Amino acid sequence: MGRSLIAIPVAVAVAVGVAGVSGAFSSNHAGARLTGAASSSPSASAMPMPTVSPGAAGPVRVELQQRVVKVEIMNFAFMPARVEVSPGTRLVWTNEDSDPHTVTTDRPGFTSQALDTGQTYGEVVARAGTYAYHCTIHPFMHGTVVVEG
């Protein structure tokens, strides 16, 4: 019994805290695209749950399963047009239209490159608030992300 269970909540808190340091939204890099991460229908996976596994001869390793919410871009619309999520959720937009589209917040936040058919774009929301977004190519296309918590 050389390991303390107190280290597990601390590791979880540190992992969650580090994910939200960069601002309201974060991605791997500007214009980051996810490949193979989205399906053809909007859905959400379960809330993040820690997976704890003992290290071979070292500390206990904690991994968080991130919640993912998928938004389709089809028929010149974001579907669903409004999503409500908790902080730390990854949003993934998939372009199902034959025309290119972008995902760009109305206020400074994030912007995707033009997404061709089948391409995806992802962002992690870190702070509570309401974030309106649009397609810069087709300005009549609008969506909203509400981050609760």
Q: What is the CATH number of the domain that holds 77?
A: 2.60.40.420
In a domain, 83, yes or no: yes
Our count of domains for the chain comes to 1
In a domain, 59, yes or no: no
User: Domain span at residue 96?
Assistant: 24-46+67-147
CB 136 within 8 A of CB 102: yes
DSSP letter assigned to residue 17: H
In a domain, 54, yes or no: no
Whether pLDDT at 1 is above 80: no
pLDDT of 149: 82
Whether pLDDT at 36 is above 60: no
Q: Structure pTM? A: 0.62
Q: What is the pLDDT of residues 105-121, one digit of tens each?
A: 999 999 999 999 999 99
Q: What is the pLDDT of residues 39-83, one digit of tens each?
A: 333 444 444 545 555 555 656 555 556 799 999 999 999 999 999
Mean pLDDT of 21-46: 38
In a domain, 17, yes or no: no
In the structure, what pLDDT confidence band is assigned to residue 24 with cuts at 50, 70 and 90? low
Give me the residues paired with residue 64 across strands.
50
CA atoms within 13 A on the CB side of 118: 2
